[in-house]
Amino acid sequence: MTLRERATGWLRDRWPLRPERWRSPLRGPWLTAVFGLVLLVTLPIVVATGLLSYMAYGPQFGQAIPGDVGWLRLPVFDWPTHPAWLYQLTQGLHVGLGLVLVPVVLAKLWSVLPRLFAWPPVRSVKHLLERLSVLLLVGSILFEIGTGLLNIQYDYVFGFSFYTAHYYGAWVFIAALAAHLVIKFPALVAALKSRSLRTELRTSRADTQQEPQDGGLVATTPTKPTISRRGALGMVAGGSALVGVLTVGQTVGWLRPLALLVPRGLDPGDGPNGFPVNRTAAAAGITASDIGPMWTLQLAGATRVALDRARLAALPQHTATLPVACVEGWSTTQEWTGVRLRDLARLAGVDEPTAARVRSCERDGGFNSAMLQGNQVLDPDALLALRVNGADLSPDHGYPARVIVPALPGVHNTKWVRSIEFLA
């Protein structure tokens, strides 16, 4: 034996994660491929809806984050106003599906642990490249899950912009996933064909046998199975179902008591204004005098107009049932009444606005202004709402007046509106 062989042999025997340590008889290419197939079908939906959310924020106005993404720029289009639940659907899918898939991602990682910690870590240049792509893949998905989870819990522990990090992290993940697919697709197909799902779902623990040795995933010194493959798949599916049940209440109102993961409390109170509040008037620094009897709405366009609340309430009113759909995944659909934005544009002398800038009474902070596209101003259901569910807006929901536009990301439905400037 050469010195080199002896040295690597010595290291290998002392490597705490050496192959003999992974002893589950369930690990094997087929099980890994089943988890892989589930993720292959679903993760692209999470990625696509995430990128759509970026588009919905209005990158053409520089109000999507990060603002300048260089050659990663996506095609610019006006985010539609129909169907009104479009952003509720895309963002609900992004956050909801992202959460539901966490158990599957963890199971997939568990299934390939022996390979992640294989010894020697690198055998050839090709092997090195393959391992680098896996490192980026695993690193980026854990990063996206971690930042996403922290964000929906409003826990900005990290010292960087969530949006910027989550956006670039997504592109690392997209690139690594593409490379992984090119490398692994033939193995995925072969592994899926190697066993029948139906048979596995009928196999008890006592009858559970290892997959044939593959020189990687399948244990060389297996223990007896403590669970069948059917049981393992059921456990992962059950974990996903549990997360799903704890999540749907974010959108489906009557299931809200089950939404244990929502950070803003389970009970938004009752009455016409009894629905979730993202930022309260107090948290936004809105004072009683900001929204008291002296409040007026300032309109600007071809002319300037100031309207107090009584004059606004005397204008033709329109009612529409529309969701507030927050980027953090929760949404709530209510019946809003107020003045059409296009009527206000006309009052300001702009019949065909190409955009509008809405400002709130807040002194500073990221939420005190939002740009709307022309189609978002002109939609017949786009409102400056004064009332919700038949009652005046509460201060927390934006009294004296708030914007509510179909399919608009929640954050741009500005509350406590002070001024609207219509651009021609």
Ligand X SMILES: Nc1nc2c(c(=O)[nH]1)N[C@H]1C(S)=C(S)[C@@H](COP(=O)(O)O)O[C@H]1N2
Instruction: State the amino acid at position 416 in one-letter form.
Output: W
Contact pick of 360, 372, 373, 383 for ligand X (by CB under 6 A): 360
Write the interaction track for ligand X spanning residues 278-317; mark x where CB under 6 A is met and - where it is not.
xx----x---------------------------------
Structure tokens at 170: 């997504």
Structure tokens at 376: 């978002």
Q: How far is the CB of 58 from ligand X (least distance, A)?
A: 14
Decide: is 416 part of the binding site for ligand X (CB under 6 A): yes
Distance CA(145)–CA(151), nearest Å, equals 10
Which element (helix H / strand E) includes 360? strand 355-360
Contact pick of 43, 387, 413, 420 for ligand X (by CB under 6 A): 413
Q: How far is the CB of 285 from ligand X (least distance, A)?
A: 10
Interface segment toward ligand X; rule CB under 6 A; list 90-98, 101-109, 244-252, 409-417: 409-417
402: left (phi over 0), alpha (psi -120 to 50) or beta: beta
CA 211 to chain centre: 36
Of 203 and 333, CB closest to ligand X:
333
Near Mo ion in 311-330, by CB under 5 A: 326
Of 34 and 361, CB closest to ligand X:
361
Near Mo ion in 270-309, by CB under 5 A: 278
CA 361 to chain centre: 29
For residues 400 and 361, is the Cβ–Cβ distance under 8 A? Answer: no
Q: How far is the CB of 119 from ligand X (least distance, A)?
A: 49
90, interface contact from ligand X, Mo ion, none, CB < 5-8 Å by kind: none
Write the interaction track for ligand X spanning residues 232-271; mark x where CB under 6 A is met and - where it is not.
----------------------------------------
Sheet with 417-423: list strands edge to edge.
304-308, 296-300, 417-423, 355-360, 369-373
3: left (phi over 0), alpha (psi -120 to 50) or beta: alpha
Nearest alpha-carbon partner for 357 in 338, 381, 385, 376 = 376
10 Å Cβ neighbour count for 194? 14
Decide: is 387 part of the binding site for ligand X (CB under 6 A): no
Give me the residues that bind Mo ion (CB under 5 A), please. 278, 326, 410-411
Give me the residues that bind ligand X (CB under 6 A), please. 276-279, 284, 324, 326, 360, 362, 367, 397, 410-411, 413-416
